[in-house]
């Protein structure tokens, strides 16, 4: 990989997460920071593998889906729709709605994605919720090294966990036995904690949660997330 210039240290002395000096160090920093997240992602992936197997998706299709799609909530939504008798079209729509959040995420990290078209394309595949949170270095800036380091570890955890869930589904039984059904909410709460740095961000988060909880009982899958995300735009401000 090409080396890149060190990103400037944020002015605030309270920021203890400034990126290391070199690209290699940034990648290692991202790997270390993503370890606890990768553990949660692995458990979540095991749960997905079990749910997908129970939904009649077989072994190969869910594994290929994890290798190519790499989007936990969207994959879970697709498996859940299929498992409850929904059609393929409904499963695709649910997944697309849940993955629409990657449009603003992609825009936010675009300046950090340097290099040719192919390199940027491959790097972008590793930008998920967890690596996006780890890669943020303040003031709307992102470290490419951190993004890639965290993304690689989370990707390995997701694919590996999916394989374990698929192959061990008949032996593991119901995911709720192991508390795997709560992994996703806990993971997102952990990611949210690091993003609440002001009263405006807190207010936007509370509003988003309230809207999502209100819509979940009667809205289609993905709609509560989209509505909550739109509300969180209130947390943005011009610099």
SS in 3 state form for 103-171? Answer: HHHHHHHHHHCCCCHHHHHHHHCCCCHHHHHHHEEECCEECHHHHHHHHHHHHHHHHHHHHHHHHCHHH
Cβ atoms of 179 and 58 within 8 Å: the answer is: no
d(CA 101, CA 129): 9
User: 5 in helix, strand or coil?
Assistant: coil
- Each residue's pLDDT, cut to its tens digit, for the chain (239 residues) gives 443 444 444 433 334 444 445 888 899 998 999 998 899 889 888 888 888 887 788 889 899 999 988 887 778 777 777 776 767 777 777 777 667 778 888 888 888 888 888 888 888 888 888 888 888 888 788 889 999 999 999 999 999 999 998 888 677 666 666 665 555 566 566 656 666 777 877 887 888 888 888 987 877 655 676 677 666 655 555 44
d(CA 143, CA 135): 5
d(CA 1, CA 32): 19
Task: Tell me the whole-structure pTM to 2 decimals.
Answer: 0.67
């Amino acid at each position: 990989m090409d080396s890149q210039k060190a990103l400037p240290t944020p002015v605030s002395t309270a920021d203890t997460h400034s990126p290391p000096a070199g690209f290699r160090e940034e990648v290692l920093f991202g790997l270390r920071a993503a370890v606890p997240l990768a553990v949660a992602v692995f458990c979540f992936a095991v749960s997905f593998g079990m749910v997908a197997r129970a939904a009649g998706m077989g072994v190969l299709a869910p594994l290929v889906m994890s290798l190519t799609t790499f989007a936990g909530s969207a994959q879970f939504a697709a498996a859940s729709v299929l498992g409850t008798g929904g059609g393929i079209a409904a499963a695709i729509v649910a997944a697309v709605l849940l993955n629409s959040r990657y449009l603003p995420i992609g825009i936010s990290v675009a300046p950090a994605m340097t290099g040719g078209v192919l390199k940027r394309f491959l790097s972008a595949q590793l930008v998920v919720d967890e690596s996006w949170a780890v890669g943020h270095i303040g003031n709307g800036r992102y470290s490419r090294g951190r993004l890639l380091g965290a993304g690689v570890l989370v990707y390995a955890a997701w694919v590996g966990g999916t394989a374990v869930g698929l192959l061990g589904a008949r032996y593991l039984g119901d995911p709720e036995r192991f508390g795997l059904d709560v992994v996703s909410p806990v993971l997102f709460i952990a990611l949210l904690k690091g993003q609440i740095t002001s009263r405006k961000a807190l207010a936007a988060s509370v509003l988003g949660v309230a809207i999502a909880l209100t819509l979940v009982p009667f809205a289609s899958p993905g709609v509560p997330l989209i509505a909550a995300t739109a509300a969180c735009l209130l947390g943005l401000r011009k610099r």
